[in-house]
Amino acid sequence: MEPITDTESLQAAVDSFANAAYVTVDTEFQRESTFWSKLCLIQMASTDGYFLVDALAKDLDLRPFYDLMANESIVKVFHAARQDVEIIHHQAGIIPTPLFDSQVAAMVLGYGDSVSYDALVRKTIGVEIDKAHRFTDWTRRPLTDAQLEYAIGDVTHLRGVYEKLSGEMETAGRAEWVTEEMAILINPATYEAHPEDAWKRLKFRVKKSMQIAVMMEVAAWRETEAQRRDMPRRRVLKDEAIYELAAQMPKSPDDLEKLRSVSRGLARSDQGRSLLKAVAKGKERDPNTVARPPRPPRPVEGVSATTDLLKVLCKKIAEDNSVAQRVIANVDDLEKIAFDDDADVPALLGWRRELFGKVALALKRGEVGLAVKKGRVIVVDAADNAD
């Protein structure tokens, strides 16, 4: 099938889905040479049919597609939705709602941690997907019939996956669990890139307060430049250069040029002068606004052993309830629970608290224990085993 390349045809295709209960959606994009993902192809399907949209077509207005994404009467089904939603939010300022992520639902239903699309298709509807075109350059035109067939399969198979998972969720009473998990994905803040927070991507290779302040300002400068020029961060300035700038704190183009990680072209350019201003701003920054390197946690008697017990409990509950262990709690969360009964972690909130958190806290308090019976770990009432 040929992709849609004009707005009138796109509107007609979208109108054909007007009464659909759900649509499955996928996008193909490239990001190797840009900061923002470059949308190349859109695939959509419903029980009424399917179509492809050439997002690179010269005179195509994608507004009908975005209007459909904003239509709250139709469920939008994605697999591993975050990057797709990020593109839609960046280009149109909307979040597709209501949203269903089949990867998240699969974890809640015990299909494994971050299960891939092809694995989930195989497990739910028994179809094997040809992976030959997984690494296609979607910016090149024309696309071959084989590439287009591969692309449309990402949404036609997803229909069966969605219906299978939806049925299992209702049977298991876990529809609300999945709804809770969608909260992060439908929050616009998830997709906003704030330059002032860019330093959080970096490691603390410098330790002094002023050096850290320079690192924070230079990271913000790089983020702003990368967004403005639509260029990958590493192409603007590599991480190693940020660490070197923070350590050396150059004052002039001559100083900048002497740094191993900064090119002469950058040092003598307008960007170089702007970069020096960011270094100076960091040196002048109020010490009270400077991030502090994370301190290694102080050893607390019993915490390590408690964490090990919580790991066993988490695995046991995950297996008993056919939920991916990682979606209940990761190791960092378990360590925090071992240290603090009121830890701010997902495992002590919502459905996770009902499933795991309450039992975890009871285990910490000694109200329940773990035992092995017929080769399986079980939770036992501590009072029943008291001397």
**pLDDT value at position 385?**
59
Torsion of CA 83, 87, 92, 96, to 10 degrees: -20
**Could you tell me which of 353, 355, 358, 350 has the C-alpha nearest to residue 183?**
350
| HSE value, Cβ hemisphere, 13 Å, CA-based, for 31 | 15
Q: Tell me the β-bridge partners of 101.
A: 78
* pLDDT grade for 273, boundaries at 50, 70 and 90: very high
Backbone angles phi, psi at 26, to 5 degrees: -150, 155
| Cα Rg of the chain, angstroms | 26
Query: Which burial class, exposed, middle or buried, applies to 4 when counting CB atoms under 10 A from its CB (0-12, 13-18, 19+)?
Result: buried
**Could you tell me which of 26, 157, 155, 175 has the C-alpha nearest to residue 105?**
175
Structure confidence by residue, pLDDT tens digits, 300-353: 666 789 999 999 999 999 999 999 999 999 999 999 999 999 999 999 999 999
Compute how many other C-beta atoms are within 10 angstroms of the C-beta atom of residue 59. Answer: 7
User: Is 70 exceeded by the pLDDT of residue 168?
Assistant: yes
Backbone angles phi, psi at 308, to 5 degrees: -60, -40
User: Is 70 exceeded by the pLDDT of residue 3?
Assistant: yes
Lowest mean pLDDT among 149-163, 296-310, 346-360: 296-310
Residue 354: DSSP 8-state: I
CATH number, span 195-289: 1.10.150.80
C-alpha 34/C-alpha 200 separation (Å) is 21
Average pLDDT over the chain reads 94
Q: Which two tokens stand for residue 187?
A: 């929050």
C-alpha 65/C-alpha 88 separation (Å) is 10
Compute how many other C-beta atoms are within 10 angstroms of the C-beta atom of residue 184. Answer: 12
The answer to whether domain 195-289 and domain 303-385 are alike in fold is yes
Distances (CA, A) of 245 to 85, 240, 279: 35, 9, 8
User: Is 90 exceeded by the pLDDT of residue 193?
Assistant: no
Query: Which burial class, exposed, middle or buried, applies to 309 when counting CB atoms under 10 A from its CB (0-12, 13-18, 19+)?
Result: middle
Q: Which two tokens stand for residue 295?
A: 């301190």
How is the chain split into domains, by residue range? 7-191, 195-289, 303-385
- 78: helix, coil or strand? strand
Write the class of the CATH domain 7-191: alpha beta
* pLDDT grade for 386, boundaries at 50, 70 and 90: low
The CATH architecture to which 303-385 belongs is: Orthogonal Bundle (1.10)
